Amino acid sequence: MKEIFDKPKIKILHIQLLPLLSGVQNVMIDIMENASPDQFEFSVISAPHGPLIMKLKNMDLKHYPLPGLIREINLYDIIIFLKFIRSAVVVDLILCIHTLPKQVSLVESLQE
């Protein structure tokens, strides 16, 4: 068990298109609440306004607002992608995952 604490934390950035508190976001929150804080450091990028942001603040988690993050794909997505890459560098991104049902097994396998 000691070797877990000797390793640097794995930094995980979640990308949430909409900062709501619906199924996908609740699964993400559940994973963050149940993952070992000694092993993982979570951050979230999403559109700037929504109920998820207050929940993240209450959990003392980092949130990076990305204005212009929208569902419809268009040419503006290139600009958003470049902003994302720049912000990912800022948070020293090691692993980037999106909330998917398989994410639970991914986090569990990282804890082993």
Which has more pLDDT, 11 or 53?
53
Question: pLDDT over 90 for what percent of the chain?
Answer: 30
Structure tokens at 43: 């951050």
Domain boundaries, the chain: 2-105
pLDDT tens per residue across span 16-62 = 888 999 998 999 999 999 999 999 989 898 889 999 999 999 999 99
Sheet strands (E) in 17-109: 40-46, 62-65, 95-97
CA 38 vs CA 67, 85, 90, 106: distances in Å: 31, 26, 21, 17
Judge contact between 26 and 16, C-beta under 8 A.
Answer: no
Q: At what angle do helices 103-111 and 23-34 cross, to 10 degrees?
A: 10
CATH of domain 2-105: 3.40.50
Query: What are the structure tokens assigned to 37, written together?
Result: 């804080």
The two structure tokens encoding residue 86: 């720049």
Q: Lowest mean pLDDT: which of 24-38, 56-70, 91-105?
A: 91-105
- Does the pTM surpass 0.75? The reply is no
Beta strands in 47-107 (DSSP E): 62-65, 95-97
Q: Which of 6, 9, 4 is CA-nearest to residue 95?
A: 9
Other CB atoms within 10 A of residue 43 CB: 22
